[in-house]
Amino acid sequence: MPKITDKREGMANQLLMRGHASMMEILTASFGEWPPRGLKINPNVLHEQRVELKPLLEEICGRGNYVGKPEIELNKAECEKYNGLHSTMGHEAVHILQGNNSYGGRGSMIKGMVYMLFGMDKPASNIIMKKLTSRKEGGLCEAFTRVANASGLDKWREEISYIRQGTEVQARIHQIMIEGYPRWGKMPANSDEFYAAMQNAGLKLPPEIEQRLESLPVNSSAYGFLACAKGRCVKVPDIQVISDSLADSGKNIFWNKTLPALYADLIEMYGDVQGAKRFGLGANLKSEVAQKNAPVAKQTTPSPS
């Protein structure tokens, strides 16, 4: 049995062996602690929702069920080949948070069926992606389709169609952030820090944003992210392929509007209720921060340490 050197992997392994966890425990396993430094998490957001955790025999890292009773299935061996068990568990947990924080929430089987069949109660991340990538804003979705069709490969067409969803981009941002968190020692709390973190993670930013980072004032907190060793998150290529598939105008929208909005929405789901305002986005694009939509269950087993 390989030696586990990352305490977050130890946490995730214990949770999987137990067979259930609170959302708080899963988020703690993502970062190694809670709350993550750099953010202003409302202490009243307890993330007590119970999530069932099950082993998965298929040769994929994991998958989740977000309709009705929240459930995550994980293939430990497959996860260890990539970013680790804690990373995949965190990815699937973000999808559960997205459902909880969707318009009206998706707490029941009936609501889930309505969501799937009619597209109602959409997660805010999908609404952000649609609003900021519409034809009016520059037609990024059309660009995705055009690039996918031009490839002539069914697999590529399916893949880019899948990862372009706001829910999937947002879950990958979470994985990129938790991969970098031990290096940075904090989470990005403003636009400059966010761009610096994404560049440090290995993403190629548009030239104007790279120039912005090169001309930061000497006292900018973003330097703390730029000075760290480069990251290796396996989800970086997914975000990069979306960016690379766009014309310059599309990249401008994607980087200046869409990604910051998705990140701000993500940290608000963590419990940082001022996230969108600190990114200059005004009120969150959700109808409300809907933590109250999440069913809760008192956790009696202490979090692993």
Read off the pLDDT of residues 2-16 as tens digits, 9 standing for 90 and up: 444 689 999 999 999
Report the DSSP pairing between strands 50-55 and 71-74.
parallel
Domain boundary pick from 60, 83, 107: 107
In contact, 293 and 104? CB cutoff 8 Å: yes
Residue 268 — φ and ψ, nearest 5°? Answer: -70, -35
- Tens-digit pLDDT profile for residues 33-84: 999 999 999 999 999 999 999 999 999 999 988 767 899 999 999 999 888 9
Closest Cα to residue 167, out of 253, 95, 238?
A: 95
Q: Are residues 158 and 185 in the same domain?
A: yes
Q: What amino acid is encoded at 3 in this protein?
A: K
- C-alpha pair distances (Å), 305 with each of 7, 15, 219, 255, 300: 8, 11, 36, 37, 15
pLDDT at 105 over 70: no
Average pLDDT on 279-292 reads 57
Provide the pLDDT confidence category of residue 151 given band limits of 50, 70 and 90.
low
Q: Are residues 135 and 182 in the same domain?
A: yes
* 1 vs 219: CA distance, rounded Å: 46
Question: 101 lies in a domain?
Answer: yes
pLDDT at 119 over 60: no
Q: Could you give the angle at which helices 154-163 and 236-244 cross, rounded to 10 degrees?
A: 100
Record the tokens describing residue 212, joined without a space: 């912005």
Q: Are residues 159 and 65 in the same domain?
A: no
Task: Please give the residue that has the higher pLDDT: either 236 or 232.
Answer: 236
Average pLDDT on 207-231 reads 95
User: What's the N-to-C CA distance of the chain in angstroms?
Assistant: 20
HSE, side-chain direction, 13 A CA sphere, residue 88: 26
Q: Are residues 145 and 222 in the same domain?
A: yes
- Domain limits for position 94: 7-107
Q: Are residues 82 and 204 in the same domain?
A: no
* 26 vs 11: CA distance, rounded Å: 8
In contact, 291 and 45? CB cutoff 8 Å: yes
Domain boundary pick from 51, 79, 107: 107
